Structure 1
């Protein structure tokens, strides 16, 4: 941002009132690029033009494009909220969260040819096939197609019939009894056509009507002594009943409600809305929100954008966490809906389970956009919530001190990026200043050296962690946290506490502990981190102890003193490599003579 523009904007900010209102950031062309509300206009707008380099990347980019701003003073925070929504809808600023209206029609396609398939499509084609629909919800269409194919064991593979009947082995679906496998040649074209017709009846008439029809057909087959056909119909009935039981899982006691949850990976956030109407889950919508400043601000902004762009407002909205200005939002949505609307954050029971279901769906959507699994994303989300972090930790560093006696004291650092070990970033620390076993002093040395390396521009320590975890309790945290703060770094520091059996039990904070046993995903992640840093530091400690003993042994050889012993270990890296070296290779070590090399080679062969 040019200095003259910044100074002009700061001067303009100084004239703003300490009153509620709405501000509009504009670019050089006069277009509005961001709209926000404020309880106190002067305080909020001035924050954009102070310490610009410390802003979140998205905010920094927006501020770089600000040429001017305008504002409107209102009488209350509620009026500011209503006006903000109206202006965003009117101008669609590029730096506000904008939700695209993805409403489109979906169809179930039934191929009207021998060996036809049932599939989900988004376009009606005049190709002679049967199209059932249209449906507004793609979620419902996909769910219906999947359940129908499973219940009637219709093929979903890429094989084409009758051309590929009898060619090649049947796929896995046949072996796990999910397909009638026309490819084997054991199903006639007429029988396949009958099953397909029954599947279409199931889609059109629902499970109850389909079950009545199939039971009648089964009884008729049994009376005609066609027991093989009766058995196939019986299996089909069981499959439909199983599908129906599965559908009951997504019923809710609250007839009309939306369940909303957000998940975050790095700076990208996904929001999922589960819509329950008539106690049934009728739709699922997911939205990728891109880079956001924090998941809490994203939750508030999403809530307003979603219901302000045409989403029907139910009497109850369940959230995965409290949102900013929740009371104002309730008031606004109540007025918009013309009836009372409650926003609630469930802590236990069925409603909490539904929120977890929505959060898992959000994590799964993010996993499709990245190389990460939904479980990894959920674990980072859960850990951030437990520790009160503004966003899930993208880059976690964990530290452990290991010692064998008083002579071998080392520190290990492991890194987990997006919930996975990043082994090329692991680092080893040989304790130099501390003499004798003092874990607190050794940990202080390790952390100080690590952060100093970052400040010096060392490329091996070029990334600052979002979270530091120490293998130890609150004593470690109360020792290391002041060290980190004194060096000018605002990095969260927590400890990993083990029980008497050396298993992860809790997370230590400055002055207490947070139990994590009941949080499965976070517990598994922290356990994996603690086990990994312990393994890494123990291994280094043993290697160093072994090399120290070997170094002492080398000095027993004639012509090998402390300096040459250190040079040998530095040159060959491992004990095994020194033992395997030839006289010529030993001569290549700095400071070695031919005589010393021959003596050492003979000494190693004898010992």
Structure 2
């Protein structure tokens, strides 16, 4: 069917809750969704198609037909939607694997065994402990056990490498027992490995009691050196246990969930807190280009319909439309009430921030960009209600110094970094007096007109994802009509400063939004505002300086505006001009002999 035919069919759907199944020309289901009112939701796909987000647009372009199922309520529609998605795995839905695979703790064979985290169990003579479903738990447990019992973390092979090289830094800072020095017997090393295995399998409490008894026995036997080694292990265990004892005071089981976007990639992280401790982390790299709220809403639904471990509370960074329905669904699975919350402050908000920091790190690690850049752009997009983090940002600042020195600086930030190749400088040409609004209108009209006319210059050819003006709502109100008149859909916002000229807020929609609670966005906007101010005022000062220099040169007989400009271009400063001889003034400054003699005489007192 064509888009008009699909729109006509959608218009005949009932205004009842249900599930719709989009199909391509082969009849394959490519997207499944739920709706409170089927007619309204499905019809929305086939109207103003060109205004959809890229993901939705691509899906609609592949739809040839659709089916629907009426449900008794929106909750029943949610349950049915989740069941059908799990069954059909549609291309355009967020899909998560039902399990995380199996992971093992591996103890290699031989007289000097090594403790490792393994992703699979193979027939290599090693001993395997597990399986565990969480790679996070296995990796963390092995790392902590090695640290507590000072087991080597290097790639040396024992006994072959004993005594061959000097011990590494870990030995000197007492994080390795130093097997390579030859001072540790094979029996003592194996005892340490066994304690590490016991620590992983039975926990710290039992190991502490066993170590205390062993330390007492060794002390009574006058084996003080061995007793001291046990004492050090006990101290490490107690310090570690103290640090990990409680992450937060509440003993309620919680999951903290956050998503971060970087380009077209989305990283979703779930941190699981059980009895006050961080017990596990799930991380998913998604390919989706919806809004943060849409992604989070769909992710939470997919995640909890594939799992049985339901927490008492789910902590989210954003309000999602299906929060109440998902809480009901999870509560039925858990057998008791589940709350879906968006904490604004306090301990729970810190847990959500921890999840967000992990999501940002996931994007940063894969994109080779700093976490600060990823977080700044992602937070800014959420703050401003943008569908995507703005990869290409232009910022403008007007700088005035009297009638003769009115300028504007344009700076560009690409992927959160200054992109100086695209910076531009403007002289205000048509505005009388110091009118910042009119000056900003002139500059943006000139810049965007060059964009519309297909200017090939790099600084003018790119459509910005976001325009930030140094100023408040008045500046924004002056510019938005120009953007609309030129048929462009570029978001425009203002950067508001306080009385001390420091970034304070973002001006949007007739109001100001404080940046103080968005740390990464605050740093990014402050950097942009400082840079555009520096660039604009440096251009203004340069013009003022050049004008003053020209003014002095034009006092010399035979030197007018053009010759003064040529001299400054050739020699860059009055000092260089004053040191030049007549021939240099003629050759480099392009002056006739009479004017060159006049300049030379002016600076040499003749």
Question: Which deviates the most, 289-298 or 390-399?
Answer: 390-399
Provide the rounded CA distance (Å) in 2 between the counterparts of 1:150 and 1:516.
41
Structure 1 length as normaliser, TM-score?
0.88
Structure 2 partner of 1:121: 118
Q: Alignment partner of 1:28: what SS?
A: coil
Q: 1:150 aligns with which of 144, 147, 150?
A: 147
Structure 2 partner of 1:302: 299
8 Å contact from structure 1 (residues 582, 601) kept in 2: no
Mapped pair 1:497 → 2:489: no
Provide the rounded CA distance (Å) in 1 between the counterparts of 2:171 and 2:333.
53
Q: Give the direction of change, closer, same or farther, for the CA distance of 1:537–1:337 in structure 2 (3 Å limit).
A: same
Mapped pair 1:424 → 2:421: yes
1:117, CA displacement in angstroms? 2.3
Q: 1:394 aligns with which of 368, 391, 396?
A: 391
Structure 2 partner of 1:547: 546
1:88, CA displacement in angstroms? 1.8
Provide the rounded CA distance (Å) in 2 between the counterparts of 1:169 and 1:403.
66
Per-residue CA shift, 1:410-442, capped at 9, x if unaligned? Answer: 222223333332333322222222344333332
Structure 2 partner of 1:446: 443
Q: Alignment partner of 2:145: what SS?
A: helix
Provide the rounded CA distance (Å) in 2 between the counterparts of 1:191 and 1:143.
24
Aligned ranges for residues 184-203 of structure 1 at < 5 Å? 184-203=181-200
Structure 2 partner of 1:479: 478
Per-residue CA shift, 1:349-394, capped at 9, x if unaligned? Answer: 2222221222222111111211123333333333344444444433
Mapped pair 1:138 → 2:114: no
Provide the rounded CA distance (Å) in 1 between the counterparts of 2:453 and 2:576.
35
Unaligned 5+ runs, structure 2? none
Q: 1:284 aligns with which of 278, 281, 285?
A: 281
Structure 2 partner of 1:382: 379
Provide the rounded CA distance (Å) in 2 between the counterparts of 1:603 and 1:79.
95
Per-residue CA shift, 1:38-83, capped at 9, x if unaligned? Answer: 3343433333333433332222222222222233344543343333
Aligned ranges for residues 341-380 of structure 1 at < 5 Å? 341-380=338-377
1:120, CA displacement in angstroms? 0.5
Structure 2 partner of 1:24: 21
Mapped pair 1:313 → 2:307: no
Q: Give the direction of change, closer, same or farther, for the CA distance of 1:168–1:396 in structure 2 (3 Å limit).
A: farther
Aligned ranges for residues 154-165 of structure 1 at < 5 Å? 154-165=151-162
Q: Give the direction of change, closer, same or farther, for the CA distance of 1:206–1:553 in structure 2 (3 Å limit).
A: same
Q: Give the direction of change, closer, same or farther, for the CA distance of 1:426–1:176 in structure 2 (3 Å limit).
A: farther
Structure 1 partner of 2:468: 469
Provide the rounded CA distance (Å) in 2 between the counterparts of 1:299 and 1:91.
21
Mapped pair 1:517 → 2:516: yes
Mapped pair 1:208 → 2:219: no
1:559, CA displacement in angstroms? 4.5
1:254, CA displacement in angstroms? 4.2
Provide the rounded CA distance (Å) in 1 between the counterparts of 2:265 and 2:581.
56
Provide the rounded CA distance (Å) in 2 between the counterparts of 1:489 and 1:221.
80
Q: 2:47 aligns with which of 46, 50, 59?
A: 50
Mapped pair 1:265 → 2:248: no
8 Å contact from structure 2 (residues 582, 597) kept in 1: no
8 Å contact from structure 1 (residues 107, 135) kept in 2: yes
8 Å contact from structure 1 (residues 34, 94) kept in 2: yes
Q: Give the direction of change, closer, same or farther, for the CA distance of 1:45–1:194 in structure 2 (3 Å limit).
A: same
Structure 2 partner of 1:69: 66
1:528, CA displacement in angstroms? 2.1
Unaligned 5+ runs, structure 1? none
Provide the rounded CA distance (Å) in 2 between the counterparts of 1:566 and 1:229.
84
Q: Give the direction of change, closer, same or farther, for the CA distance of 1:605–1:204 in structure 2 (3 Å limit).
A: farther
Provide the rounded CA distance (Å) in 1 between the counterparts of 2:261 and 2:602.
57
1:291, CA displacement in angstroms? 2.0
1:498, CA displacement in angstroms? 3.0
8 Å contact from structure 1 (residues 260, 271) kept in 2: yes
Pairs aligned (count): 602
8 Å contact from structure 1 (residues 559, 599) kept in 2: no
1:486, CA displacement in angstroms? 4.5
Q: Give the direction of change, closer, same or farther, for the CA distance of 1:229–1:16 in structure 2 (3 Å limit).
A: same
Q: Give the direction of change, closer, same or farther, for the CA distance of 1:115–1:545 in structure 2 (3 Å limit).
A: farther
Structure 2 partner of 1:232: 229
8 Å contact from structure 1 (residues 263, 362) kept in 2: yes
Question: Which deviates the most, 38-47 or 141-150?
Answer: 38-47
Q: Alignment partner of 1:351: what SS?
A: helix
Q: Give the direction of change, closer, same or farther, for the CA distance of 1:198–1:333 in structure 2 (3 Å limit).
A: closer
Q: Give the direction of change, closer, same or farther, for the CA distance of 1:440–1:182 in structure 2 (3 Å limit).
A: farther
Q: Give the direction of change, closer, same or farther, for the CA distance of 1:527–1:183 in structure 2 (3 Å limit).
A: farther
1:220, CA displacement in angstroms? 3.3
